[in-house]
Amino acid sequence: MRRPIVFIHGAFGSGSDFATWVDFFGRAGFACHAPSLPGHDPPDAATLRTLRIADYVASVQALAQNLPHTPILVGHSMGGLVAQHLAATVPCRALVCVASAPTSVLVPQRIAWPYLLPLLPDILAGRPFRAPPDAMRVLALHDLPPEEADALCERGYESGKAYRELIFGLSRVRTHAVACPVLCASGTLDRIIPQSLSDRLARAYGAEHIRFPRGHWLIAPSALGDVAVAVLRWLETKLESGG
């Protein structure tokens, strides 16, 4: 039996952000699914104008409920928040939060403010917006090899309504309803998700927490050998033990 695993991408992204993980876990015997959230592939500002976190959760829920077996959920950044909501809603084999957005207020780090302030009018108004390439390079991709950062810095639109919910902690997860094993993977050099929030998230679930000396983009191909391998080892342990 190929165990189903669903990868959920973050803000401004698409399912292709998990391409190397899909290949890696596929070769390890998993049935991999990496959907793009509504309005993200191709980027569609008109669609994103009305969408909220709950709409993203509903779209992945429809996929998860049609799988032949209970899935494993892996979410990166905003996708981690979506995955948490889903794990509190439908049966899941395991939940992996990778550099995940918290369920509480996401207070920007000092380095992020010069890049966030110009975007605040759109976020507060709930308008779709793009992340500027320089913001991506400095905040999310700063520790990646230049060729990887170049390939990732041009991103699509994101829903201002969904992002507003994310940074102001308006999309609370029923953490007590998450019954599956949980792993948190975070980067100690992350300039988007402070380590203190990653620690708090792990405590909320009583989760195992693996910290990597990396930035926010833990799903980068260059991080595959340590981050994805660690996630696979954890999953295999949980699946073999029945935990």
Give pTM, 2 decimals.
0.97
pLDDT for position 242: 62
Average pLDDT, the chain: 96
All structural domains of the chain, each given as residue ranges with its CATH number in brackets, are 3-241 (3.40.50.1820)
Determine contact, residues 15/7, Cβ cutoff 8 Å. yes
Quick: pLDDT tens for 183-217. Answer: 999 999 999 999 999 999 999 999 999 999 999 99
Write the burial class of residue 46 (CB in 10 Å: 0-12 exposed, 13-18 middle, 19+ buried).
exposed
How sure is the predictor about 1, in pLDDT bands with cuts at 50, 70 and 90?
confident
Query: Which region, left, alpha or beta, applies to residue 210 given φ > 0 means left and ψ of -120 to 50 means alpha?
Result: beta
Quick: pLDDT tens for 84-128. Answer: 999 999 999 999 999 999 999 999 999 999 999 999 999 999 999
243 pLDDT above the threshold of 60: no
Determine contact, residues 124/164, Cβ cutoff 8 Å. yes
User: In the chain, what percentage of residues exceed pLDDT 90?
Assistant: 97
Q: What is the DSSP string of 119-185?
A: GHHHHHHT--EE--HHHIIIIISTTS-HHHHHHHSS--EE-HHHHHHHHTT-S---GGG--S-EEEE
